[in-house]
Amino acid sequence: MLILFALPLLFGCAKKDDHVIRLPEPNYKISIKDESFRDYYNLVSLKIPVISSYAGDTDKINEILKDYITNKYYEESLASEFDAYYNYEVTEVKLTLITRDFLSAVVLGHYASSSSSHLDYFSYSVNLLLDSCELYSFHDVVNDLESLKKTFLKGGFSFYYGDVKMIENISKEDMMIMYRDDYRIYPDIFFTEGYVGINVELPYIAGGYAGYVIRIQDLARILRENELTALLFDDVS
């Protein structure tokens, strides 16, 4: 098990913005635990964040994190067949923002089928308010998908993670085409210090996934007012 002391993380060298609240440093520890199990013929390997030395309900927090990541495997519906089985593996958990009250992470991985010639990739985020044990999704935070897409297409987001060379195989328009309000399909959202990020699912020829970030104040007009945005930003309209 990898043990990490929880410190605020910012991947990149963007200038700090005084408009963003300086969040209190965490007073707990976080580790990444490896777990494996078999689901019929499938081999499943997960990486799960584990909180310790936290003043709140640690058991409930860790149960939520474990259940969330485990259920994401079952949502893939990788039912074993007579002529095929899957190896499903979480390869990395990016802890993008850790504060005293909040945890944001991006989970990356792939699965291989015995009947397929290439890997299929998956990626998603988990955003958890620790005190209330409440999970937040894209729709909980952003109230205007189309405005966000327009900002993305105009170059308002910066690249954060993914395969730079393979991303050249797909246009920004094609990255956004699957996300639609009428189908209730949204990109996953994550946070870094002072930034909002979106996790974009891509075909395997484009690397499977990519992350992009934008300063949180640049999205202020389309953010919902709730406990999370109040924590992260002092002027959400």
Q: For residue 154, what are the contacts with CB-CB under 8 A and spacing of at least 6?
A: none
H/E element, 232: helix 227-232
Question: How far is residue 223's CA from residue 186's CA, in Å, rounded to a whole number?
Answer: 15
Secondary-structure breakdown of the chain: helix, strand, coil percentages, each rounded to the nearest 5: 25, 40, 35
Query: Is pLDDT of 190 > 90?
Result: yes
* Average confidence (pLDDT) over 176-193: 96
Q: Which amino acid is at 112?
A: A
In a domain, 122, yes or no: yes
How many domains are contained in the chain?
1
- The pLDDT of residue 23 is 65
In a domain, 27, yes or no: yes
- Residues 229/141, Cβ–Cβ less than 8 Å: yes
H/E element, 74: helix 58-75
In a domain, 93, yes or no: yes
Report pLDDT digits (tens) over 138-166: 999 999 999 999 999 999 999 999 999 99
- The pLDDT of residue 33 is 98
Question: How far is residue 181's CA from residue 138's CA, in Å, rounded to a whole number?
Answer: 12
Its pTM stands at 0.87
Report pLDDT digits (tens) over 56-108: 999 999 999 999 999 999 998 886 655 678 999 999 999 999 999 999 999 99
In a domain, 237, yes or no: no
Q: Percent of the chain scored above 70 by pLDDT?
A: 86
Give the structural domain span for 50: 2-232
Residue with tokens 């997960």: 46
In a domain, 99, yes or no: yes
In a domain, 38, yes or no: yes
In a domain, 143, yes or no: yes
